[in-house]
């Protein structure tokens, strides 16, 4: 049981720190670690999203270029010989 109000607040439950330790520094360090972790997770997510988009869009774009060339190659003989 707590004998006095001072004893009740002498133990800070965050990080298990006792009175006299620099609590604000530990809180700021923990906040920075948490913020950097979130920033790192967002950076990894952006990298994965960009890679996924490029993995799909680049082959599709190259395929469309080839289809356009094949269409042109087929269109001119058809037009030239009057097969249209």
Residue ranges covered by each domain of the chain: 5-80
Read off the pLDDT of each residue in 28-40 and give the average, rounded to a whole number.
84
Query: Quick one: pLDDT at residue 82?
Result: 67
pLDDT digits (tens, 9 = 90+) for 49-73: 999 999 999 988 888 888 777 776 6
Contact predicate 23/12, CB 8 Å: yes
Measured between alpha carbons, how far is residue 50 from residues 16, 43, 56 in Å?
A: 41, 10, 10
Residue 4 pLDDT grade (very low, low, confident, very high; cuts 50, 70, 90): low
* Cα atoms in the 13 Å half-sphere on the side-chain side of 16: 0
Collapsing DSSP to helix, strand or coil, 82 comes out as: coil
């Amino acid at each position: 049981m707590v004998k006095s109000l001072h004893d009740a607040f002498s133990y800070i439950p965050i990080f298990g720190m006792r009175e006299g330790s620099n609590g604000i520094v530990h809180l700021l360090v923990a906040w920075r670690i948490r913020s950097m972790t979130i920033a790192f997770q967002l950076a990894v997510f952006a990298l994965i999203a960009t890679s996924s988009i490029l993995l799909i869009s680049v082959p599709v774009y190259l395929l469309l270029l080839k289809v356009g060339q094949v269409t042109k190659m087929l269109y001119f003989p058809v037009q030239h010989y009057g097969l249209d």
